[in-house]
Amino acid sequence: MIVGSSVRRVAIIGGIRTPFARAMGAYAEASNQDMLTATLKALVDRYSLKGEVLGDVGAGAVLKHSADFNLTRESVLGSGLAPETPGFDLQRACGTSLETAILLGLKIAAGQIESGIAAGVDTASDVPVVYPKSYRQLLLRSARGRSFGEKLKPWFGLRPRHFKPVLPAVVEPQTGLSMGQSCEQMARTWDIPRQAQDELALASHRKAAAAYDEGFFDELLFEFNGLKADNNVRRDTSLEKLAKLKPSFAADGTLTAGNSTPMTDGAAGVLLSSEEWARARGLPILAYLTYGKVAAVDFVHREGLLMAPAYAVPRMLKDAGIGLQDFDFYEIHEAFEAQVLCTLKAWASPEFCRDRLGLSEPLGEIDRAKLNLKGGSVAIGHPFAATGARILATLGKLLAQRGSGRGLISICTAGGMGVTAILER
């Protein structure tokens, strides 16, 4: 049966990750499989899972070589889990590992599996580099040749231009715009000033630094390739320093390297299970994954590229029967501080909530004192597919420390999509 006799609660046992590293730095020689395997192994060691058969492992990467077509399964085989543990690849851009958690959570809730790991990994240092399509076609024509002459003939068309590599472009195929250029348009549409973005970025760095000082991340990270902590956190930054940075995506723009996420390498994973599975092994439960929602927007003609969470969250709140203010923690992914501020402004806008969301009144504002308490992606970094798992582990620990409560997760993604979830304890 696809669904068992009862719906079960989905427990978040805990998570772990590599420190996040700025691209072309500490992990320049590490592959996606290296980082994902190490992260799964760290989870196995942390929760004594060596030789265990888990129900499933879901993970993915946004920037992935074609040779990594079975990335998750290969990483499972090197993790210490029993070889009988299956694994699948999934990619929903920056929402990848949150989406894998939601899918595994549905399997656990439905009684299909008892346990699983949701993970994500990305390297901007080891990106796939390919050659022009014309060169690939030449190679394939040669490979299809039946005789030596047929195999040789295509090579007479070889030209120097065939050796010019094609690097992956971080742009939207539908618009030709980068994510930063798209968010710059959003900032203009929503009238988000530069200073507000820089203030949020400064708060992100200060909160992350404070979290390190209090030891919050000690059990959430493991040393990898000699790195013991995220190397993007700027303890010495200030509004004055941030204000001196030049715009990154438009000469007259407001988005800079200081209020945008850096290109980052890293991996993160989270262990989920049924309550029965956790208790049988004496494992603590940090929180429960109770709701999840995805949405997409028409960013080509109608809406800002990164505005989908503004739609997904109210639909999820309706499912849960609660309001935007009914949370103790808010974890909103900081792709760009402008994106966070656009989303918050949309939820507080009577016009947006009426005309776009079909609501009779605005969702309202959140308590900023509850936002990204241990730092956000601008400070910590953003290996695309790993961010969801990082946030899940952070929010789970926050709820466990508090003893009770509710937390909201909101992640925008490329392609005009958003992935959101609720954790409760």
Q: C-alpha angle 424/204/299, rounded to 5°?
A: 75
Rounded Cα distance between 390 and 153, Å, is 52
365-370 long-range Cβ contacts below 8 angstroms, 24+ apart: 366/324, 366/325, 366/327, 366/330, 367/325, 370/327, 370/328, 370/329, 370/330
Q: Which of 183, 342, 353, 412 is catalytic?
A: 412
Contacts of residue 154, defined as CB under 8 A and 6 or more positions apart, other chains included, come to 138, 139, 141, 142, 145
Judge whether 382 counts as a catalytic residue.
yes
CA distances from 354 to 312, 417, 420 (A): 15, 21, 21
Is the Cβ–Cβ distance between 22 and 301 less than 8 Å?
no
- Catalytic annotation, pick one of 183, 205, 353, 382: 382
Contact yes or no for 129/283 (Cβ under 8 A): no
Is 333 part of the annotated catalytic residue set?
Answer: no
Q: Can you point out the beta strands (E) in 275-397? A: 287-296, 329-332
**Cα 15 to the chain's mean position, in Å?**
14
Which two structure tokens, joined as six digits, stand for 72? Answer: 């998750």
353 given a catalytic annotation: no
The active-site residue out of 94, 183, 342, 353 is 94
Per-residue tokens: 355: 């005309």
Q: Which residues are catalytic?
A: 94, 382, 412
